[in-house]
Structure 1
Amino acid sequence: MSDVLPLLTLALRSEQDIVHCRQAAKRLAAALEWPVLEQIRLATAVSELARNIHQYAGSGHFDFALLRDDGQRLRLRGLEVRAVDQGPGIAEMDAIRAGSYRSNTGMGIGLRGAQRLFDDFDIQTSPAGTCITARKYQAPRPFPDADLLQALTADLQGSPPPDPYQQIRLQSEELLLTNTELQLRQSELEVTNKELENTNQGVVALYSELEKATQELKEASEAKTRFFSNMTHEFRTPINIIENVAKLLASGVDGALNAEQQRQVRFISDAALELANLVSELLALAEVQSGRLTIVPQPFPLGTFVDRLEQFAAALAPRYPQVSFSVAPPPAEVLLDTDESRLFQVLRNLISNAFKYTPRGQVRIQVFQPDDASLEFLVEDSGIGIAAADQQKIFEEFERIRSPHLTHIEGTGLGLPLAQRLAVLLRGELSLDSEVGRGSRFTLRLPRHYASHRAAEPEPDLSGLTVLVIEDNEGDRYLVRRTLERLNPVLLEADSARSSLDRLNAVRPDIIILDLDLPDINGEDLLASMDWSMHRRVLINTAQPLDEAGRQRLQDYCHAILFKHAPDHAERLLAEVCALARSLSDD
């Protein structure tokens, strides 16, 4: 808010009074040391308001006032003008404010133009007259001397009628000055546009570099995943040999071992077991990251599963003699329908972690059923706890929290990252509540029925996506077509590898369903001939029995492998196509 100090009132009865108001506004702005262009803008706006009064109301008056800062009355904040008349009021006011009103006289255009030249602009109009209050603000400055204002006011009120020819000359000079300013602004605008054009070119180049870097990172990630997958399989053979030879030696088949030799063989066996666990975790993590790990839900009783967890904890306990454990029986005997092996893998890692980070104390495993559709598994320990700053790190690969209370911690730092990723794949959520010195609580919440949770998700609309079915058997093509047609994809079919080549190269389908038994070219050879960007779009659909080596070889070249003879083949096909479509839409 500002304190208003009235300064000057000028009557409006003739054309000369319009010029008088304009001249007074300019001289007043000059006395307040406004920039020349601001003086011209104020004079122009006042002239337009005065002309409106004269044209539409016949007569009225103009009030000029200074705005003082409420907090510091000796500071000047700006200037206020009030144009008042007793005319018939302004019709179509809403349209004039919106800038949509049009008239032959130009009414409304002048008001809108004047409004743009002020900081505040208020119109109150009725059949009894119109009052327009407008304000122009400047940076706060010392308030003008009272004697100066008095002399200026007297001069403006008593000045003779302005010479029209002199006013025309002054307005011409102002017009030239304004035109020069506009030319200068136009030049600045052209320079700015050129800079923006150059900047846009740089942004485009930057986007291109970012896309290239993203692709390189993606390829590097895929290469890392392939390396993990390949190397872990290569490691398994020598590890198995070490484990089996250690067992042979410990059994005494080739002669009894003395106590020291037994101890050495046990060291070898334990090291082989740790290495085997590391390989298994690396392989599982690689499968999760590549998106090729599949969830196979099967029904199983909760009580039997909890017994299995208790047996695992009992087998682990002798390695931690200062840690006790308890496994609470389930609240009720319920049936789960999810992937039992993956669920056990998650909880096995959580239980191992609880023992590992508890120098002495207790580990508790409990199961809760918050509602009919879900379960919660709680693994709680009274160990060293995890600081808030480290609670996110423990879910990162190869991250382990060091503690002065534990000088040696076994493990690789892969257990918790793998557990979290598997929990997501099981459509569950893994949460942590921990405090240093007071232990940790890991809670796994997941649906009892994996399939029903999945069915609750809406099937995507594949309109606009192209699906190419490469299959020589007409019956199999029909089954695929009938399974997918309700999702509205563009379905293309090829009954041989050669007939698919033109579609692969010209159309570049979004999803490819490939049979391995093709009459002309082996499906695996066709797959290998595709570029890497297309491999992630391929679903192998085969009746061939594949051993582990063949399966692993093909997994590096496709999104998933489906077997025609599987009892849930149609459901799996639909699920994998939907998952692949979602992954494409996320890219």
Structure 2
Amino acid sequence: MANVDKFNAKKNATLEILSHDLAGPFIMLQQLAEYMGEQVGSLRNENLNEMIRIMQTTCKESVDLIRDFVDQEFLDSANVELKLERVDMVERMQQMMESYKQSEAVVAKNFTLLAPQEPVYVTLDVNKFMQVLNNLVSNALKFTPDGGHITLTIAQGPSTVRFTVADDGIGIPQAQQAGLFDRFTKARRPGLRGEKTTGLGMSIIKTIVGLHRGRIWFESEENKGSTFYIDLPLNMASQSNGQQA
């Protein structure tokens, strides 16, 4: 066991170094491209502006891909531990949704939270799990047209709590649904406004849910929207030490 921990620690340190060394040049090139764009803007050369824009976009996508890959490797590592605490998820989701509702006019979407009046306490790593919910909402934003609706729901059962993120957007084609949670899934596609994706996001989401001894699934129909469901145990502290089985 000590050798496994030592190997994982070495692997994680190597990933950190590689992430920094690989992403660093792309970040520098992106900054240089931004500076060049400012300097040549007055020339009104559309071809030149387009080439600089491509440089900026390519650098940003490369950095995102590197960081997403490293994030996935960290989550897959055997020594990933959750920082468990007992949290009122109704309160946390209200705070999150308040931020989204303040941006309704900007993003041209309508946000709704359906939650009980009383608190719903769940033992979890709140930072990691809020990342899951935010990523699901972010994906809903990408694939929901202007004027669409995004609804979050939290409902408590006897021993579990269910979270749902639903939208009335363009939905997921049937042919892409089976591999949606795979790493580097072929289901990746640009958003309605051309937002890029690496295809790693859903894999990371599933890994975090799995670390919480939960399960995630979805229902979707083209042109009618998608709904993602997450079931978590109310108290996983007594079930595990926070490590993935």
- Work out whether the TM-score is over 0.5: yes
1:310 to 93, 97, 102: 97
> Residue 122 of structure 2 corresponds to which residue in structure 1?
336
Instruction: Provide closer, same or farther for how the CA distance between residues 306 and 395 of structure 1 changes in structure 2, counting only shifts above 3 A.
Output: same
> Residue 292 of structure 1 corresponds to which residue in structure 2?
79
- In 2, the alpha carbon distance for the partners of 1:405 and 1:244 equals 25
Q: Helix, strand or coil: the match of 1:282?
A: helix
Q: Helix, strand or coil: the match of 2:222?
A: coil
- 1:345 CA displacement: 1.4
- 1:312 CA displacement: 5.3
- In 2, the alpha carbon distance for the partners of 1:245 and 1:314 equals 36
- Give, as a single letter, the amino acid of the residue that structure 2 aligns with 1:296: K
- 1:332 CA displacement: 2.0
- In 1, the alpha carbon distance for the partners of 2:103 and 2:161 equals 25
1:169-180 alignment, distance < 5 Å: none
- Give, as a single letter, the amino acid of the residue that structure 2 aligns with 1:436: E
Instruction: Provide closer, same or farther for how the CA distance between residues 317 and 392 of structure 1 changes in structure 2, counting only shifts above 3 A.
Output: farther
- 1:235 CA displacement: 4.3
1:187-206 alignment, distance < 5 Å: none
- Give, as a single letter, the amino acid of the residue that structure 2 aligns with 1:439: G
Give the aligned length: 220
- In 1, the alpha carbon distance for the partners of 2:134 and 2:209 equals 12
1:44-55 alignment, distance < 5 Å: none
- 1:404 CA displacement: 10
- Give, as a single letter, the amino acid of the residue that structure 1 aligns with 2:126: E
Question: Is the CA contact 1:225–1:289 (under 8 Å) kept in the aligned structure 2?
Answer: no
Matched, 1:232 2:19: yes
Matched, 1:281 2:68: yes
- Give, as a single letter, the amino acid of the residue that structure 1 aligns with 2:216: L
- 1:336 CA displacement: 2.4
- In 2, the alpha carbon distance for the partners of 1:238 and 1:318 equals 37
1:438 to 207, 224, 237: 224
Question: Is the CA contact 1:232–1:282 (under 8 Å) kept in the aligned structure 2?
Answer: no
> Residue 383 of structure 1 corresponds to which residue in structure 2?
169
- In 2, the alpha carbon distance for the partners of 1:316 and 1:279 equals 29
- Give, as a single letter, the amino acid of the residue that structure 1 aligns with 2:123: D
> Residue 410 of structure 1 corresponds to which residue in structure 2?
196
Residues 44-65 of structure 1 deviation map (CA, whole Å, 9 limit, x = unaligned): xxxxxxxxxxxxxxxxxxxxxx
- In 1, the alpha carbon distance for the partners of 2:138 and 2:162 equals 18
- Give, as a single letter, the amino acid of the residue that structure 1 aligns with 2:176: D
Residues 200-225 of structure 1 deviation map (CA, whole Å, 9 limit, x = unaligned): xxxxxxxxxxxxxxxxxxxxxxxx99
- In 2, the alpha carbon distance for the partners of 1:315 and 1:244 equals 31
List alignment gaps of at least 5 residues for structure 1: 1-223, 250-256, 455-571, 583-587
- In 1, the alpha carbon distance for the partners of 2:113 and 2:235 equals 23
- In 2, the alpha carbon distance for the partners of 1:317 and 1:276 equals 29
> Residue 528 of structure 1 corresponds to which residue in structure 2?
none
Instruction: Provide closer, same or farther for how the CA distance between residues 338 and 276 of structure 1 changes in structure 2, counting only shifts above 3 A.
Output: farther
Instruction: Provide closer, same or farther for how the CA distance between residues 273 and 331 of structure 1 changes in structure 2, counting only shifts above 3 A.
Output: farther
- Structure 1 vs Structure 2: percent identity of aligned residues? 25
- In 2, the alpha carbon distance for the partners of 1:237 and 1:329 equals 43
- 1:383 CA displacement: 1.1
- 1:274 CA displacement: 6.1
* Alignment root-mean-square deviation, CA: 4.0
- 1:291 CA displacement: 2.5
Residues 19-43 of structure 1 deviation map (CA, whole Å, 9 limit, x = unaligned): xxxxxxxxxxxxxxxxxxxxxxxxx
- 1:233 CA displacement: 3.5
Instruction: Provide closer, same or farther for how the CA distance between residues 443 and 408 of structure 1 changes in structure 2, counting only shifts above 3 A.
Output: same
Q: Helix, strand or coil: the match of 1:452?
A: coil
Residues 72-102 of structure 1 deviation map (CA, whole Å, 9 limit, x = unaligned): xxxxxxxxxxxxxxxxxxxxxxxxxxxxxxx
Instruction: Provide closer, same or farther for how the CA distance between residues 427 and 403 of structure 1 changes in structure 2, counting only shifts above 3 A.
Output: closer
Question: Is the CA contact 1:357–1:384 (under 8 Å) kept in the aligned structure 2?
Answer: yes
Whose radius of gyration is greater, 1 or 2? 1
Question: Is the CA contact 2:189–2:197 (under 8 Å) kept in the aligned structure 1?
Answer: no
- In 2, the alpha carbon distance for the partners of 1:417 and 1:312 equals 26
List alignment gaps of at least 5 residues for structure 2: 1-10, 43-48
- Give, as a single letter, the amino acid of the residue that structure 2 aligns with 1:446: L
1:119-198 alignment, distance < 5 Å: none
Structure with the bigger RCO (C-alpha within 8 Å, sep 6+) is: 2
Matched, 1:392 2:174: no
- Give, as a single letter, the amino acid of the residue that structure 1 aligns with 2:68: E
Residues 497-525 of structure 1 deviation map (CA, whole Å, 9 limit, x = unaligned): xxxxxxxxxxxxxxxxxxxxxxxxxxxxx
Instruction: Provide closer, same or farther for how the CA distance between residues 235 and 450 of structure 1 changes in structure 2, counting only shifts above 3 A.
Output: farther
Instruction: Provide closer, same or farther for how the CA distance between residues 344 and 280 of structure 1 changes in structure 2, counting only shifts above 3 A.
Output: farther
1:493-508 alignment, distance < 5 Å: none
> Residue 140 of structure 2 corresponds to which residue in structure 1?
354
- Give, as a single letter, the amino acid of the residue that structure 2 aligns with 1:231: L
Residues 178-233 of structure 1 deviation map (CA, whole Å, 9 limit, x = unaligned): xxxxxxxxxxxxxxxxxxxxxxxxxxxxxxxxxxxxxxxxxxxxxx9987654323
Instruction: Provide closer, same or farther for how the CA distance between residues 303 and 406 of structure 1 changes in structure 2, counting only shifts above 3 A.
Output: closer
* Length-normalised TM-score, structure 2: 0.70
> Residue 195 of structure 1 corresponds to which residue in structure 2?
none
